[in-house]
Structure 1
Amino acid sequence: MSLPDDDYSEYEPLTTSRTVQFSKLFDELDHCGEDEQTQKIREMNEIIEEMNEIVEEMDYNEFRSIFTTRMFNKIEKMIEENTMSLESAILLLKHIGYCKMLKMILSYSFDYSSLSERLKKMIIEEQKEKEEKNEKLLVDLCECYIQLNRNFSPELLSICIPCLLVVALNKEEKEESKKDVEIVLLTLCRIVICYFIEQKLYLNEIKEIIQYHQEHRNLTRLAYQSAWKFLIFRMRKDDSLEEVITKELHFAREVASELEDQMKCVDWKREKEERGKETKEEVALLRWLDTINCFFNSCRSWNEDFAGLIRRTVQILRASRENYKKIHVKCLHSIQRAAEEKIVKIDDLLKGESVDIILEEIQQPTTYNNAMMNCLYFFLEISERLKEKTDNKANEAKRMELKRKIFEKMEEKGYEDTIASLYGVISFVYLDLTNYQNILQIIL
């Protein structure tokens, strides 16, 4: 099987202090305590702990440069030849997988390795054990396999999901237990939108996890977000989940509350030299915004909590304008996505203050091209929706009232400046003149 284009195993590795030090430590693993097995494992684990600390500091490119198919094949060979114990390999692989998930790194390198095949076979064999099944080993293997892979077989998912959810249901208040739950729920988020999973494998457990947290606040922020993300991913392939998500678990209301709390943890006024350094608070918000986008793209029925969720997104967009470009872009995309989906009423967009913020963005002197494109498409979506006349007098009166309200918003924000700003970027976003005239005629 040929390697995908994004695999770096055929290229020279990046030479940075972190990659050089990691490679040096990796080479030392072959020479640990060769005369005595216990001493060998102890020395190896000490080296791995040091390697894990380096992994935490790696940036995106360093990570992909180091963790290639070639390196995973070498680890598999070391396990096969008994120069690395399975326990030590798991200690290293789980940390690599955890950091990969936190940094949201995309790579197929593990999928194409012999180590991936080895773990897959071990999971299936361990599951078949009836009398002496090692539950902890099975959980470790499932975590490593799902964390590092991007493609999964139905057979593996039918084993791994129930196995991991047993850990996720642990309600102990100990920090160690909370961390285990966090890692497991984060791992489940690796099972992306394209996979259909039978509800019997997960639904009752995920509902219990979310509902218990809503009452007792027992999960870490990342664990709670991950539980939601896993469930929202499933809605794309299974629209019967919508009632559970919107009515039983109150996604929009809960996430609006989470975003409010998360906003308080971010240093929105950070110094110029700190800009560009991704913080854990920033990553948390980016993950929530991705989940919101997926929700609006999958949901098919209106909910009264939509306006509140949009309003909170608008607040984050405004706060992130100066110092957090990634968050700013995600928020704009979320608001545009809400405008695209007809389940979100234009009333919700108005109440959520999204029209106000988009008009503000258009008039910002530093607005970059992609942001301007989001802003223009926001108005195009609204214009298309308001264009649709109806014979129902009440609905037609409502349509005209919405047009009037949006016109008033544009007057408040500077009617002439808005028009000038729109006109100046038309050529960039490839909007034809007809669409441009639609914005002016429908909204104004």
Structure 2
Amino acid sequence: MALMALSNIGVYTEIEKEAYLKEMTEIIEYHQKHHNLTQLAYQSAWQFLVNRFYKDKSLENLIANGLHFVREASRELKEFSKRVNLKGKRGEEGGKMTLEELTLMRWLNVIDSFFFNCRLWNEELVELISSIVQMFRASRDSNRTICNRSISLLRVAAYNRNVKIDDLLKSGAIDAILEEMKQSTSDDFILCNGLYFFLIISESLKEEDDEDEKVKRKATKRKIFEMMEEEGYEDALTSFYETLQFFGRKYSEKLPLNIFDYFVNV
């Protein structure tokens, strides 16, 4: 209960490190060895710490490399995928979430904050993004709340420039969103996040590198293009022509207006 109360302290509230850092680090490390906390308590400890990260970037190395947030979050998502019935319809509870579903949503929210704030690349990112992809695939036909949160997380991961495009390829994120974009049952939220996901990737693929990186990036462009061609993304792009123009013109000056040409003509 104490950890859950602490987790509700907002990101804008500044707290001196001396008041929490040693004890919170010990709590997390002790749980990693002895598993003495409930899933909700453990999530709450991480949420409190990541909330502090918003105002204090010196916590980055401790969170990412010292306490291994990426590894722990990935493991927790895998555990929830076994315990939460993502593919089954909810019972007669008026759409209310179970405690496990609520705790899972809290984990997805804290992962969102981590992606948004962390600028350190971690080799375990592929596994974490892969866990989110699996969550997205499993929930998209029945649990739209978790499904929508999952695809928005994939968009935020792509937005983090320290998440490599190869990470998105290896994790299956690009495959999963391509598949969903061509489904006639996709709603506006899914389509909007999917379009933004590929707009971000387009911008990343345009960045300049040294000669070795240029060769690698060209190969990555070709691979993504072939995937899009196979999934019929060109047809989808054509149908969203006006949406893409409006998207780039109104919502992000940095995103290319010729995104449709860019992906079709690599």
Question: TM-score of the superposition, structure 1-length normalised?
Answer: 0.55
* Structure 2 counterpart of 1:295, one-letter code: F
Note if contact 1:310-1:349 (Cα within 8 Å) is conserved in structure 2: yes
3-state SS in 1 of match to 2:122: coil
Match of 2:72 among 246, 250, 254: 254
- Superposed displacement of residue 333, structure 1: 1.0
Note if contact 1:362-1:421 (Cα within 8 Å) is conserved in structure 2: no
* Structure 2 counterpart of 1:409, one-letter code: M
Instruction: Find the aligned partners of 1:191 and 1:346 in 2 and give their Cα distance.
Output: 34
| Aligned ranges 1:90-239 → 2 under 5 Å | 183-239=1-57
Any stretches of 5+ residues in structure 2 without a counterpart?
Answer: none
Match of 2:232 among 407, 414, 418: 414
Instruction: Find the aligned partners of 1:440 and 1:350 in 2 and give their Cα distance.
Output: 21
Find the counterpart in structure 1 of residue 128 from structure 2: 309
Note if contact 1:307-1:352 (Cα within 8 Å) is conserved in structure 2: yes
Find the counterpart in structure 2 of residue 358 from structure 1: 177
CA deviation vs aligned residue, 1:316-347 (integer Å, no higher than 9, x gap): 01111011111111111111001111011111
Instruction: Find the aligned partners of 2:234 and 2:195 in 1 and give their Cα distance.
Output: 16
Greater RCO structure (CA 8 Å; 6+ sep):
2
- Superposed displacement of residue 277, structure 1: 2.8
Matched, 1:343 2:166: no
3-state SS in 2 of match to 1:192: coil
Note if contact 2:116-2:160 (Cα within 8 Å) is conserved in structure 1: yes
Note if contact 2:237-2:260 (Cα within 8 Å) is conserved in structure 1: no
Match of 2:219 among 382, 401, 408: 401
Instruction: Find the aligned partners of 1:322 and 1:380 in 2 and give their Cα distance.
Output: 25
Find the counterpart in structure 2 of residue 441 from structure 1: 262
CA deviation vs aligned residue, 1:228-258 (integer Å, no higher than 9, x gap): 1111111111111111111111110111011
Note if contact 1:318-1:357 (Cα within 8 Å) is conserved in structure 2: yes
CA deviation vs aligned residue, 1:38-66 (integer Å, no higher than 9, x gap): xxxxxxxxxxxxxxxxxxxxxxxxxxxxx
* Structure 2 counterpart of 1:394, one-letter code: D
3-state SS in 1 of match to 2:240: helix
- Superposed displacement of residue 370, structure 1: 1.9
What is the aligned-residue identity percentage?
Answer: 45
* Structure 2 counterpart of 1:395, one-letter code: E
Instruction: Find the aligned partners of 1:361 and 1:250 in 2 and give their Cα distance.
Output: 31
Q: How many residues align?
A: 260
* Structure 1 counterpart of 2:215, one-letter code: A
Find the counterpart in structure 2 of residue 324 from structure 1: 143
Find the counterpart in structure 2 of residue 175 from structure 1: none
Match of 1:264 among 56, 67, 82: 82
Instruction: Find the aligned partners of 1:271 and 1:252 in 2 and give their Cα distance.
Output: 30
Matched, 1:283 2:102: yes
Instruction: Find the aligned partners of 1:201 and 1:261 in 2 and give their Cα distance.
Output: 32
Instruction: Find the aligned partners of 2:244 and 2:262 in 1 and give their Cα distance.
Output: 16
- Superposed displacement of residue 413, structure 1: 2.0
Change (3 A) 1:440 1:285: farther
Instruction: Find the aligned partners of 1:293 and 1:351 in 2 and give their Cα distance.
Output: 20
Note if contact 1:383-1:439 (Cα within 8 Å) is conserved in structure 2: no
Any stretches of 5+ residues in structure 1 without a counterpart?
Answer: 1-182
Q: Which has the larger radius of gyration?
A: 1
Instruction: Find the aligned partners of 1:226 and 1:439 in 2 and give their Cα distance.
Output: 42
3-state SS in 2 of match to 1:264: helix
Matched, 1:374 2:193: yes
Instruction: Find the aligned partners of 2:100 and 2:62 in 1 and give their Cα distance.
Output: 28
Change (3 A) 1:323 1:228: same
Instruction: Find the aligned partners of 1:214 and 1:194 in 2 and give their Cα distance.
Output: 28
- Superposed displacement of residue 196, structure 1: 1.8
Note if contact 2:140-2:147 (Cα within 8 Å) is conserved in structure 1: yes
Instruction: Find the aligned partners of 2:260 and 2:242 in 1 and give their Cα distance.
Output: 14
Match of 1:244 among 22, 39, 62: 62
- Superposed displacement of residue 284, structure 1: 1.4
Deviant stretches of 4+, over 6 Å:
none
Question: TM-score of the superposition, structure 2-length normalised?
Answer: 0.91
Note if contact 2:115-2:156 (Cα within 8 Å) is conserved in structure 1: yes
Note if contact 2:77-2:131 (Cα within 8 Å) is conserved in structure 1: yes
CA deviation vs aligned residue, 1:119-153 (integer Å, no higher than 9, x gap): xxxxxxxxxxxxxxxxxxxxxxxxxxxxxxxxxxx
